[in-house]
Amino acid sequence: MYRYDERDRAIIRDRVTQFRSQTERYLAGELTEEEFLPLRLQNGLYIQRLAPMLRIAVPYGLLNSTQLRRLARITRDYDKGYAHFTTRHNVQLNWPQLEDVPSILAELAEVDMHSVQTSGNCIRNTTSDPYAGVARDEIADPRPYCELIRQWSTFHPEFAFLPRKFKIAVSGSEQDRAAIRVHDIGVQIVKRGGEIGFQILVGGGLGRTPILAEEIRDFLPEEDLLSYLEAIVRIYNQLGRRDNKFKARIKILVKALGVEEFARRVEDEWARIKDGAEKLTPEALAWAKSFFTAPKYETFDGASSDADLQTQADGDKAFSRWLERNTFPHRVPGYRAVRLSTKPTGVPPGDVTDRQLEAIADLADSFSFGEARVTHDQNVVLADVPQNRLYELWQEARKYGFATPNIGTLTDMICCPGGDYCSLANAKSIPVAEAIQRKFDDLDYLYDLGDLNLNISGCMNACGHHHVGHIGILGVDKKGEEFYQVQLGGSSSENASLAKVLGPSFSRAEVPDVIGKILDLYIEQRQPEEHFLDTYQRIGLQPFKESVYANAK
Amino acid sequence: MPTPNKQPANPAELIIDEAIAENQWRLLPQSEEGSEISAETLAPGKVILPFSIWSALKGSLTERASEIGVWLDSDESADLIGTDATTLPLIAVNFPAFTDGRGFTTGRLLRERYGFQGELRAVGAFIRDQLTYLRRCGFNAFAYEGEQPLKKLLDSMYDFSESYQTSVDQPLPMFRRRSL
């Protein structure tokens, strides 16, 4: 994990001082509402339906146990004792007081945390793979590049007032677990002739106009990462639309110019800056990588460790289920990565209490070198757990409600805070998630359904990523009433696709049964080994449509 | 047809090089009858011309070079002035709304790409809390239109004691200064 030095700390302390002054001037009437708005947003502070909401950055998802304990304390001292994991690795507090925010930021700064650029029209937190450094299909660890991007983008003086928000994701593996195709810039680490480089995609995004990113460069040398990003964002800052906030994302510019013309402009700009001071030196690259070396793994005999684990699993069905769904293969023999599920039935997906935050810290200390990772599907990963301690970890995780063996299944939903909290939402999303969890609570049924992503957004801003759910649910407003549109066939993987709308929307009460009909058809139509998405892609939308809307009237 | 941007004001006092100073320049707004202005009818004294007028007249104003400045609107890029920047005593960049951040790029390019050494003046609707970023992008003069006293603005010139990335005020990014 990256370790701050005095320079990094000075910058974050300066930020706290700056925001304290801004808040004081706002409360004293020296900053107008309009002027304070982007300043507070760039500190992650929204004014929401019920109270302010503070979004705290978790750069590319990494947290250590000290930071987790501090977050727990902050939720107790300044909030209602819980926090919410978002879909972009961040943590949200739902009930802070505006005048407390500078003090919260000061407390975060003490553990090298902040809320820098977690909202606003600037470069946001970089998203990455929760299995970075441990995945077997990894080409190179994405975290050093994420950290270099974090530093480059933090208080970048040229890019603090972009046309719209700007999100970058980095994937270092063959399988895309960072959803890079739905980001403004997607960076895919590739290897060519032994050299590390990047495939660069631009113009992806969800929201009102969902678009998948397109490639503008197939291989960018490693040392050119920052200058190339600078060229892209500079072109966007100059040419992105500013007259209509719904057409201001880079995806609209890329579509308007055409991807070839956009790429040409980026290449022209880059040619003029590529040999400047932002070119990464071998020392800088080695330095960035030095923070993400392997921890002190024990040496295990992989085969005998696997066999022992299998014996434990054979003897305990509940453990076996958890093992199957909530653990992930590790590149080091005798280890696994573990997903703690924040999605038991009846709890808003991604919500954790102060005690649970402390429990994650304890589990991280006991089982995984003191570190944890927040995932984009709102769970938590302990990346380095010895297999011979999995049973013990499972029992501990159960005590704190983290062992729901539903990772990757229907009930492991991505869900935005929705109309219960968010002032943008057209409809509530949390009660829909809960109703679906309650209807489909039979584990055997869930396992039989297999890998299935269901994503729920309370409005077309798409914080719940409904466009890239295998099943997506979108809250819509129909003459003042909350309705839900169902979409099928989305995916944010390396074979990304956008979901298609099934048909007319449904009332909240109808949604679980509609999902039931969709699943029934899948089970009836599927071929051996076919996941939901495979079946959908083979048979198309029409059969689902017919099944759901048949006899509707 | 895009609506024309709000024209920048030209306050009597401004900040230059971190001190409050008297404004010695007139600023000519963009206007319909702008094309009527010629080198002969342009009143004497220091004047900041809109880009379109400067561009039309620059050939006939060479003798007055030290009192002719130019201002760029937010949709006019540094490339329009290009290497002519080295001959200008002053370039102003308009921020029609403080959220319109195109001028930050314009400032950097004028300094870093086109070698502009003169006074780089921010005009328009920018706010106090942008001064650090503006300064880092090469601006050294601030013709502030807002309500706050100029003296208070000076407190926001250096909100950060360190910076990560390359810019006009710090040509070396931090990774080149960490003594790795």
Q: What tokens appear for A264 in the block?
A: 């040409």
Count of alpha carbons within 13 angstroms of residue A412, beta-carbon side: 28
Q: Given the DSSP bridges, would you call strands A52-56 and A45-47 parallel, antiparallel or unpaired?
A: antiparallel
Statement: residue B1 has pLDDT above 60: no
Q: Quick count: other Cβ atoms within 10 Å of Cβ A274?
A: 18
Higher pLDDT, A421 or B3: A421
Statement: residue A238 has pLDDT above 60: yes
Among A15, A39, A154, beta carbon nearest to B129: A39
Amino acid at A17: T
Q: What tokens appear for A112 in the block?
A: 């090298």
Chain B residues in contact with A274 by the CB 8 A cut-off are: none
Statement: residue A359 has pLDDT above 50: yes
Place of tokens 């290897």: A191
Among A17, A151, A159, beta carbon nearest to B174: A151
Q: How confident is the model at residue A346 (pLDDT cuts 50, 70, 90)?
A: confident
Among A18, A238, A272, beta carbon nearest to B77: A238
- Establish if A227 touches chain B: CB-CB under 8 angstroms: no
Amino acid at A197: G
Confirm if A318 and A353 have CB atoms less than 8 A apart.
no
Q: What tokens appear for B156 in the block?
A: 């926001």
**pLDDT tens-digit series, residues A501-551:** 999 999 999 999 999 999 999 999 999 999 999 999 999 999 999 999 986
Chain B residues in contact with A38 by the CB 8 A cut-off are: 99
> Exposure string (b/e) for A25-34, b if CB count within 10 Å is 16 or more?
bbeeebbeee
> In A222-364, at which residue ranges do the beta strands (DSSP E only) sit?
327-329, 335-340, 351-353
Q: Is A495 helix (H, G, I), strand (E, B) or coil?
A: coil
Confirm if A410 and A436 have CB atoms less than 8 A apart.
yes
Torsion of CA A111, A91, A365, A3, to 10 degrees: -40
Report CB contact under 8 Å: B102, A238.
Answer: yes
H/E stretch holding A146 reads helix A143-153
Closest-CA distance of chain B to residue A345, Å: 43
List A residues 103-142 in contact with B (Cβ-Cβ < 8 A): 121
Give mean pLDDT, residues B62-81: 96
Give mean pLDDT, residues B40-60: 92
Query: Which pLDDT does position B31 carry in this prediction?
Result: 76
Report CB contact under 8 Å: A11, B137.
Answer: no
Chain B residues within 8 Å of chain A (Cβ atoms): 2, 77, 98-102, 104-105, 108, 113, 127, 129-130, 132-134, 136-137, 148, 155, 159-167, 171-176, 178, 180
CA A41 to each of CA A46, A187, A242, A318: distance values in angstroms, whole numbers, following the listed order: 6, 26, 18, 44
Residues 6+ apart with CB under 8 A from A527: A535, A538
Among A121, A156, A234, beta carbon nearest to B165: A156
Statement: residue B114 has pLDDT above 90: yes
Rounded Cα–Cα distance for residues A213 and A262 (Å): 13
Confirm if A463 and A516 have CB atoms less than 8 A apart.
no
**pLDDT tens-digit series, residues B124-163:** 999 999 999 999 999 999 999 999 999 999 999 999 999 9
Rounded Cα–Cα distance for residues A16 and A31 (Å): 17
Class of CATH domain B13-176 = alpha beta
Statement: residue B71 has pLDDT above 90: yes
H/E stretch holding B151 reads helix B150-153
Report CB contact under 8 Å: A277, B172.
Answer: yes
Domain ranges of chain B: 13-176
Instruction: Give percent above pLDDT 70 in chain A.
Output: 99
Report CB contact under 8 Å: B105, A237.
Answer: yes
Q: Given the DSSP bridges, would you call strands A185-192 and A195-202 parallel, antiparallel or unpaired?
A: antiparallel
Chain B residues in contact with A21 by the CB 8 A cut-off are: 155
Q: How far is CA B67 from the centre of its chain?
A: 15
Q: Given the DSSP bridges, would you call strands B47-50 and B26-27 parallel, antiparallel or unpaired?
A: parallel
Rounded Cα–Cα distance for residues A207 and A397 (Å): 35
List A residues 510-529 in contact with B (Cβ-Cβ < 8 A): none
Task: Report pTM.
Answer: 0.95
Rounded Cα–Cα distance for residues A255 and A309 (Å): 51
Please list the residues that pair with A53 across neighbouring strands.
A46
Please list the residues that pair with B70 across neighbouring strands.
B49, B91
Between vectors from CA A121 to CA A119 and to CA A123, what angle results, nearest 5°? Answer: 75
Amino acid at A183: H
Report CB contact under 8 Å: B173, A278.
Answer: yes
Query: Which pLDDT does position B42 carry in this prediction?
Result: 87
Report CB contact under 8 Å: B180, A284.
Answer: yes
**pLDDT tens-digit series, residues A254-270:** 999 999 999 999 999 99
- How big is chain A by its Cα radius of gyration, in Å? 23
Among A5, A15, A278, beta carbon nearest to B166: A278
Considering only alpha carbons, which residue of chain A is nearest residue B3?
A: A243
User: What domains, with CATH codes, occur in chain A?
Assistant: 6-109 (3.90.480.20), 143-292 (3.30.413.10), 302-399 (3.90.480.20), 414-549 (3.30.413.10)
**pLDDT tens-digit series, residues A203-236:** 999 988 999 999 999 999 999 999 999 999 999 9
Q: Given the DSSP bridges, would you call strands A471-478 and A506-507 parallel, antiparallel or unpaired?
A: unpaired
Q: Quick count: other Cβ atoms within 10 Å of Cβ B87?
A: 14
Phi, psi torsion values for B173, nearest 5 degrees = -65, 160
> Exposure string (b/e) for A188-216, b if CB count within 10 Å is 16 or more?
bbbeeeeebbbbbbbbbbbbeebbbbbeb
**pLDDT tens-digit series, residues A432-462:** 999 999 999 998 999 999 999 999 999 999 9
Q: How confident is the model at residue B4 (pLDDT cuts 50, 70, 90)?
A: low
ipTM: 0.96
Chain A residues in contact with B174 by the CB 8 A cut-off are: 7, 151
Q: What 8-state DSSP symbol labels residue A84? A: E
Confirm if A521 and A543 have CB atoms less than 8 A apart.
yes
CA A266 to each of CA A70, A145, A214, A426, A490: distance values in angstroms, whole numbers, following the listed order: 42, 20, 14, 38, 30
